Structure 1
């Protein structure tokens, strides 16, 4: 049976999609064809049928999970990337240790303020719920916002450090990926045990943050609403689906702008900085990396 030898465990909005591609490009690496499987977040052996039925990608048993790696041939390293494993650290760490006690784990951490800001913009862009401002989310007592809570890395990572040998865990910073992606990836290649002289093509970004010029127009184009339903019904008999999708994509692009069009104000940034300060200081000692830039 072929099983993963490494896992990308975190975090969202820290370049994991690009890293997945850089790993997949290596001839000695096999990556699961599904990204963000999120298998280890749940104890599927004891899950009820309703929970199993709700699993988005249908990977709700150990047998189905193993099938993701059945096509691997002579690759030296097999892996998958589910950046929510770190956030769901208790269940994920326990289940990973149960099934893959010797697996190597990789976390890519991003300045929690920037990570939350990027996450927030994604929710606005993709019309995911009705997000409150980051400050409103941060000032809730207790904090229930996943967007904010995902940035408290210390306890999440310490749980993995306590559960696994430290030699099994490698922590990178998103800043390292931005500054020198090839150098970081070659270090990662060494960690997972493949040829570290391979040079991935890092010339293009997988995801570029954008925000809508008009949130109202964006909601009409992306959200589930009466406007989209009426327009779709009217155009369906006369315009093919592919053409309608192209028109919609063009309209979305016309309504898109760079993220600087929806900036995080200095006062808002400072509130978030103070919220994360203590956690950052503890994390800095835990991973032995200079995180002073995250405190400025």
Structure 2
């Protein structure tokens, strides 16, 4: 499958953040007749270890071509890879590929997000440390590896606090794309009123929303049992992330406390 115009194939991204409901939102958006997402949800094109920065938009489109089930005319093709917003190199690549790209970014309380990622990595067998030791050792585990996009990179598996540095990620995103091309959604709103979030996202993308009778499965089903917000562990993690939380309040007016 190849695009029929000179425009890049991929027009929108559910580009982050990890463990904020991106899989659910991608599934919900897939119910719209005007949108197409990869059959396996996350294409991992722009963060692929073998990505060549010399590739043209046509070369990148060729990487995407086999990842879609059909090529119905008039639809918007997208990708839902949450790593994209996290890494500046991916954002820059996407900016060169399609300056008109529209981004949907889900934000989840970074403390809960970190705990969720940790439990996922434990379940996958990619994390052997206790949660608190993993958090305390994260700066040393990531040291010198920030440009490492290999599949086993600690940037992918052990970036619990780093992925919650939303202010830095938004700074990078807005340096490459105007704010009107970025839709920020809160994961708790997706959980509480998925239909409203999907309608807002479809309006942002300029396509009709799914039918009114569409059923939306709950978000975060099967996720770990959340700790009490007042527990010692949660307070300690929030203290560790105090700079990131303050940056979001001061630069973007977004609070997670």
1:283 is the counterpart of 2:239: no
Write out aligned runs for 1:100-119 (5 A). Answer: 100-119=98-117
**Deviation at 1:8?**
0.8
1:140 is aligned to 137
Write out aligned runs for 1:162-241 (5 A). Answer: 162-196=175-209, 198-199=211-212, 201-205=214-218, 208-209=221-222
Residue 129 and residue 117 in structure 1: after superposition, are their counterparts in 2 closer, same or farther (change >3 A)? closer
- In 2, the alpha carbon distance for the partners of 1:281 and 1:96 equals 28
Contact 1:4 1:78 in 2 (8 A): yes
**Aligned residue-pair number:** 230
**Deviation at 1:100?**
1.2
Write out aligned runs for 1:76-91 (5 A). Answer: 76-88=75-87, 90-91=88-89
Contact 2:101 2:181 in 1 (8 A): yes
1:20 is aligned to 26
Partner of residue 45 from structure 1, selected from 46, 52, 58: 52
Contact 1:41 1:95 in 2 (8 A): no
**Deviation at 1:135?**
1.9
TM-score (norm 1): 0.69
Residue 31 and residue 263 in structure 1: after superposition, are their counterparts in 2 closer, same or farther (change >3 A)? same
Residue by residue over 1:87-117, the C-alpha shift from the partner in whole angstroms, topping out at 9 and shown as x without a partner, is 12x1111110111111101110100110111
Contact 1:22 1:200 in 2 (8 A): no
Partner secondary structure for residue 79 of structure 2: strand
Task: Please report the RMSD computed on the Cα atoms of aligned residues, expressed in angstroms.
Answer: 2.7
The answer for unaligned runs of 5 or more in structure 1 is 48-59, 212-258
Residue 161 and residue 197 in structure 1: after superposition, are their counterparts in 2 closer, same or farther (change >3 A)? same
* Higher-Rg member (1/2): 1
1:127 is aligned to 125
Residue by residue over 1:136-190, the C-alpha shift from the partner in whole angstroms, topping out at 9 and shown as x without a partner, is 2222372533122211111112101111111111111111111211111100110
Ranked by relative contact order (alpha carbons within 8 Å, sequence separation 6 or more), the top structure is: 2
**Deviation at 1:133?**
2.4
1:92 is aligned to 90
1:267 is the counterpart of 2:224: no
Comparing 60-69 with 150-159, greater Cα deviation is found at 60-69
The answer for unaligned runs of 5 or more in structure 2 is 143-157
- In 2, the alpha carbon distance for the partners of 1:160 and 1:273 equals 24
Residue 197 and residue 123 in structure 1: after superposition, are their counterparts in 2 closer, same or farther (change >3 A)? closer
Partner secondary structure for residue 30 of structure 2: helix
- In 2, the alpha carbon distance for the partners of 1:188 and 1:210 equals 24
Contact 1:135 1:271 in 2 (8 A): no
| Larger helix share, 1 or 2 | 1
